[in-house]
Structure 1
């Protein structure tokens, strides 16, 4: 397969009846440069400038008649055209004489004959001359102006595409009229320059898939020419061209390399190459560009219809593994292949990391897209598991997953949902906390990425469930820091998915993202438009995920073993791990089939062989998990309610997270969103690609994009009666800063406690305590005297900083300031010392220097089980001077 181009440009003529066209030669040189660029057109280009008739005739005849059947031919003519009195068309060469066109010019009929004799059925002709408007097909003709004279005969035939400069240009024929005034000399450059610009900078890639088709080039040139010259309207004529004809690649689009390779592989005659193309298809299905994902999905549909049964089987498996729903009856066409080039790697590229409950992934932001990094085993995801062997070795990822059955007690899984809880596993002298497990997994991802690019990584962005509390976020950041990652931002998983979906969208769009992973569920309602991704509301459940659906199948199988064989397997760890794996497999299979078989021979340590052979239907599975499905309702309904929008205002519903592959989830979300059909194109890479995109934004590689996230939980203080005074409410856009004035609850009070809590419950004890400040030896004050100005400041990473400042002055002045700051809000009952700050991310507690002349003392405690080093701090003492 070859792409060949012939450009004929005549700027000067021996016969002075034909005006000089100074732009023709220059435009032809630019067009030849673009078409010949291996990163854009990849054509083999021959250019003839100011050529005489006979050499041009030989070049044209050779160009068409020597072409092979698979070749793409492009002929570009930039010169004068001429019609005789019988309306026969000629192309004017340098030595053409107006009075003898039949013998000195090139007849259009002759070119048409050579085209008909050519074996190629992919021929594109671009005419930039006075009479190009006359060369129009009577089939599939597209123009925006008045039709020119229809001369279809010269280019009739299969596979012909003609792109002409204008239908509105005046044409001339032999007569008294001076043809030098039929057209201004610079007019052809408007058309050819538009073609060059559209191909050179990729502007003609209108659908963003990285390739420029003839149709896209026509639409682009049509608009550019129309803006430059009123009434000049290019025309596109097509005569039985089969499939899409691509002329070039967009140099701005890194995906085009893999798209080109994929398009070639999926149509290869060798079945093993088509089978190998599935790896590329899988990668491109995770692209941040919707056109790229659509192209990969169309290619996958073509492979599903492959005549080779093994190719089709693997393609169907990939379709269902991706959670793309039912396979459409109509199959996608396999696209043709342009040439490819290798992208340039970015030095220290920014990265995004999805640390998942079940699997984790890392993506590099390079060029203007995200490349997922394969691990040592070649997979794009790494199991989120760490195991301690009997020899004291620590295994991470796939190696640890192999230990699940044989070494279940010392294999850590689902560590993500245990962050910040004090959970650990100990074997001998080795002790691993949830943070240690996270560190090992993140370090493995970093090592894989650095090996992949051959150098260090840039800044990193982590994703977390939207409902993660501050302690869990801080624990993950701490683990990433220990793993050697430079974390610059933590974003919510649904927000990351929305960023992937809406990065290049300009129209204002309301998107609901439903993210159901292995251990958590998150729902966010996000507004996208004009470079801003704004989270309107978020809700979730940190104790509901795909593992719970697996657990119901495990419970079902345990009951079947007890009922059928009289054996209780709940205390047999090896058997339970096998059941767990079988349950996960069954759940996945029931996402694409209605029945699955579970066959587990020699299960359990019993006196007789215990063989479990069960059949589970999708209906049975949905019945046993109906209550779990119902729990998914609340986050969706609350997110929509908190965002204050109606179902009719939702533009898109996105499913992400591996567990959303279950058909019942898609149906529930469709019902809860007013019948909106969910979009599944971001499963499963949508989160990691969104994180990588955010790293690109932070690194200024993606301009003019702003992400506005929200708090997932309310923050406040415990009041004297045990209730919570909320200061920052959930779904508040961050960064956010709030101030509250606090005071004493009884007369002459000398000791107070400031309890910072996180949560939605009315009672403080039902929420999570973030920090406790216990103060003693306070100067006595009357009841309800406002003493302290407390500021809660939460940054874009949901990192909380609490600052308290002592108010000075008489009681009336303090009351006045309190009313001013709180706008007549009822005074609180909390107190602390001047300039005390708590930085929650690192767990540090310190004070700024103050004057010393008072006996006030304070003890700072952090009740989170993470911050063991803060327990039993020496009391901090200040002695403020007299005012």
Structure 2
């Protein structure tokens, strides 16, 4: 991590239209002295004075593209600015020609492009320039009020802060021959002079903590400029900057070194260094300066919330020893330092966790035992789960797709997660994208962001899916991720991942209900956490309920209001519905913290005589009333999960809310009612799921120790029997990995062929279940009806990958039932002893192996369930050829034997 500054100051210009600015060079020299001072800025500074366009472009490109992710970049421009008749901003270099700005000046858009390609997420731009060309001749300004055009607009993007000497249009005007400016040629820049003074003597350290942030510098400069020049208004534009950006240290602050050392230590990835910072915090708590004490107190609160138990315990002890009173309940978690993850030993790249969401997706990487969420190219920690096909065939992903969704709703794919495993697709021209293709594009974007962040591709990866996803949907997610370049080794249920994050480093026994309401699905899991073991006891949910349903209720409400007010039905007006959808989502978010939300959509549509303007106020009470039935649907899965685990709501120690839709107050109220008034835990919103996936990836790579995850199968697995009913082999909520067997018997006398139709689901009939595989078992010896001939084994691993094996039971007709009973009893006896090392279990396993060798034939039929096998099996079951094969379905031996 380093500090770099580039100063471009142009005093002289070849084109006589641009006036001489002698103060620019002097300002640059003074600013360089301050920024490079190791006691103030410590920047590596490059200064270009009276530079030509080509050299300036080369310097700018090198400055931004060679920067590291954690580097702090400061660009200062002291020169003329020029706006052409199309309102495009150019920076004037020594050899710029006014009539040819596109080829001889540096465009603001090009600087913005360089910034966008930079890996740095901390960029500060200081613009000390004026410009013209956007006004009518000889007009001082457009209007008496402050102009609204912002000079920072071309520089919007990740972690960028732009300070300008004035609002975009103040003081700029155009004469017939020459360009005039807000200061005379000999007058030093008030703006740059204020910047230099604020940094040089520490005047900009407004809170007295020894460090000068960008916000403090702006406040100081703003006040200085306004006092000296009436009407000039410096501006500040901030875009996606994470946390506080500090530019310099105050040279007159005696505690500045201690505060800097403290901030570094409390953010260190090593727990022992964070513990070491407590000594320094104790010293700073005794400072006579209130800002120093406040900074130390805030740092101590962060350590009290540290994920390491020893760090948190010692920090809380120091808090009590210093008599600081009751620890605030809403204390912030320890902030994460934005550093690039280290490469784990023995891995091709950092372990990764992915939360592929209905609305947004995210990726996290493991650094040591810490998790780092990866920002995308726009600086956000989540990427919209959207893909669009433009008119020219270009495919847009993520934020780019979201920006144009309003204008291109028909060809913008959203909520594709819910369409995985179906034949859904979107086609425009020569471009056709299936659901898995859209998922692949989104996941590929996550992979590119992770590679840019870490400097190398991610390694072993864990994906999360809704708990109620079936095997086909899980297989589709894994296939899309692998096509995107991920090495997927485990698929976790989303509530399980959240519980893993919550349960990390917890030693006390805790029973937790995880309530995960995302954009499109509801998942509920009951989980027991103890001494590093996270064991799922039950799962439930609703695959067709999510935050989108709450949005749709608002949309329907607004459609009715338009109908009532204008007699206009907009239900099929796609552009109008898209605007209503976005307004509904914004209103839902606002109602999470406010009692009412105002929805204003001018020119939403038009009738034959007048435009339709929508201006509605929606109260939280109205919103909750129109969605009461959705809330009731949330209640059932939670109650079912508690019942399935054999518990009562009073047995719960904690209820965790995760998923963006749980921010709605009504969800918290529902959970409190379900649990007898227990306050839900919201500390995992929104990153709990992706963090848990990254932790599990660390477990698999060996980077995280002392954690054992025991997940469950989310749906019952079995096979169809004669008559169309389902024989259950593995029950829902069975801990995985697991293997279970059931004996299949002939359904008719003399049957020499058997069809094994493997299904998934809770229905008792096969037609209400999802087809997983069909095994054709031919050439069986003829026996009477009800004779056990086939042992069916369903083996599901920790990744929810299912393998089906069928083996023939051999012997004479009169001995097959006895052999089947002996084999079944031997399996039950061996499975009843938990210890793998007891002599008794070894004896029983040896007996079972001998029976298998004697009673089971070498003939076996096997299939591993994947998307291909499921697709082929489903096609067969839905074809005319199925009914004759279905008639060959077996009986279970237990049914035939009774």
Q: Say whether the fold is shared (TM-score over 0.5).
A: yes
The match for 1:212 among 256, 271, 278 is 278
What are the superposed Cα offsets for residues 638-692 of structure 1, whole Å, 9 maximum, x if unpaired?
Answer: 1111111233321111100000000000010111122210011110010011111
Superposition pairs for residues 331-730 of structure 1, below 5 Å? 345-346=342-343, 348-604=349-605, 606-607=607-608, 608-730=610-732
- 1:590, CA displacement in angstroms? 0.5
Could you tell me whether the CA contact under 8 Å between 1:525 and 1:640 is conserved in 2?
yes
Match of 1:838 in 2: 863
Could you tell me whether the CA contact under 8 Å between 1:288 and 1:370 is conserved in 2?
no
- 1:212, CA displacement in angstroms? 2.5
**Helix, strand or coil: the match of 2:427?**
strand
Match of 2:43 in 1: none
Match of 2:873 in 1: 862
Change (3 A) 1:241 1:415: same
Could you tell me whether the CA contact under 8 Å between 1:653 and 1:678 is conserved in 2?
yes
Could you tell me whether the CA contact under 8 Å between 2:763 and 2:769 is conserved in 1?
yes
Once residues 384 and 553 of structure 1 are traced to their aligned partners in structure 2, the CA distance between those partners, rounded to angstroms, is 22
What are the superposed Cα offsets for residues 68-100 of structure 1, whole Å, 9 maximum, x if unpaired?
Answer: x989xxxxxxxxxxxxxxxxxxxxxxxxxxxxx
Match of 1:193 in 2: none
- 1:403, CA displacement in angstroms? 2.4
Once residues 832 and 843 of structure 1 are traced to their aligned partners in structure 2, the CA distance between those partners, rounded to angstroms, is 28
Could you tell me whether the CA contact under 8 Å between 1:287 and 1:370 is conserved in 2?
no
Could you tell me whether the CA contact under 8 Å between 1:285 and 1:681 is conserved in 2?
no
Could you tell me whether the CA contact under 8 Å between 1:400 and 1:411 is conserved in 2?
yes
Change (3 A) 1:288 1:358: farther
The match for 2:808 among 782, 806, 810 is 806
- 1:453, CA displacement in angstroms? 1.2
Once residues 311 and 359 of structure 2 are traced to their aligned partners in structure 1, the CA distance between those partners, rounded to angstroms, is 27
Instruction: Note the residue ranges of structure 1 that are not aligned, 5 or more in a row.
Output: 4-68, 72-118, 125-198, 218-236, 247-258, 267-280, 297-327, 846-859, 872-883
- 1:713, CA displacement in angstroms? 0.6
**Helix, strand or coil: the match of 1:603?**
strand
- 1:239, CA displacement in angstroms? 11
Change (3 A) 1:291 1:618: farther
Match of 2:61 in 1: none
Change (3 A) 1:485 1:867: farther
Once residues 472 and 449 of structure 1 are traced to their aligned partners in structure 2, the CA distance between those partners, rounded to angstroms, is 25
Once residues 272 and 634 of structure 2 are traced to their aligned partners in structure 1, the CA distance between those partners, rounded to angstroms, is 44
Once residues 271 and 407 of structure 2 are traced to their aligned partners in structure 1, the CA distance between those partners, rounded to angstroms, is 55
Once residues 600 and 239 of structure 1 are traced to their aligned partners in structure 2, the CA distance between those partners, rounded to angstroms, is 54
Could you tell me whether the CA contact under 8 Å between 1:507 and 1:529 is conserved in 2?
yes
Once residues 291 and 563 of structure 1 are traced to their aligned partners in structure 2, the CA distance between those partners, rounded to angstroms, is 63
What are the superposed Cα offsets for residues 743-795 of structure 1, whole Å, 9 maximum, x if unpaired?
Answer: 11121124432111111111221111112234556442211111111110001
Change (3 A) 1:286 1:726: farther
- 1:811, CA displacement in angstroms? 2.2
What are the superposed Cα offsets for residues 587-644 of structure 1, whole Å, 9 maximum, x if unpaired?
Answer: 0000000101111111125323011111111011001100000000111101111111
- 1:817, CA displacement in angstroms? 2.7
Instruction: Note the residue ranges of structure 2 that are not aligned, 5 or more in a row.
Output: 1-37, 40-207, 211-252, 259-267, 316-325, 829-855, 883-898
- 1:422, CA displacement in angstroms? 1.2
Change (3 A) 1:260 1:781: farther
Once residues 388 and 337 of structure 1 are traced to their aligned partners in structure 2, the CA distance between those partners, rounded to angstroms, is 39
Match of 2:128 in 1: none
What are the superposed Cα offsets for residues 138-188 of structure 1, whole Å, 9 maximum, x if unpaired?
Answer: xxxxxxxxxxxxxxxxxxxxxxxxxxxxxxxxxxxxxxxxxxxxxxxxxxx
**Helix, strand or coil: the match of 2:528?**
strand
Match of 1:743 in 2: 745
Stretch of structure 1 that moved more, 601-610 or 482-491? 601-610
- 1:507, CA displacement in angstroms? 1.1
Match of 1:315 in 2: none
Could you tell me whether the CA contact under 8 Å between 1:656 and 1:683 is conserved in 2?
yes
Question: How many pairs were matched up?
Answer: 588
Once residues 216 and 641 of structure 1 are traced to their aligned partners in structure 2, the CA distance between those partners, rounded to angstroms, is 50
Q: For the pair shown, which has the larger CA radius of gyration, 1 or 2?
A: 1
Once residues 690 and 595 of structure 1 are traced to their aligned partners in structure 2, the CA distance between those partners, rounded to angstroms, is 35
Once residues 592 and 714 of structure 2 are traced to their aligned partners in structure 1, the CA distance between those partners, rounded to angstroms, is 31
TM-score by length of 1: 0.60
Could you tell me whether the CA contact under 8 Å between 1:263 and 1:335 is conserved in 2?
no
**Helix, strand or coil: the match of 1:212?**
helix
Once residues 295 and 584 of structure 1 are traced to their aligned partners in structure 2, the CA distance between those partners, rounded to angstroms, is 43
- 1:813, CA displacement in angstroms? 3.1
Once residues 423 and 294 of structure 1 are traced to their aligned partners in structure 2, the CA distance between those partners, rounded to angstroms, is 53
Change (3 A) 1:360 1:294: farther
**Helix, strand or coil: the match of 2:711?**
strand
Once residues 448 and 827 of structure 2 are traced to their aligned partners in structure 1, the CA distance between those partners, rounded to angstroms, is 53
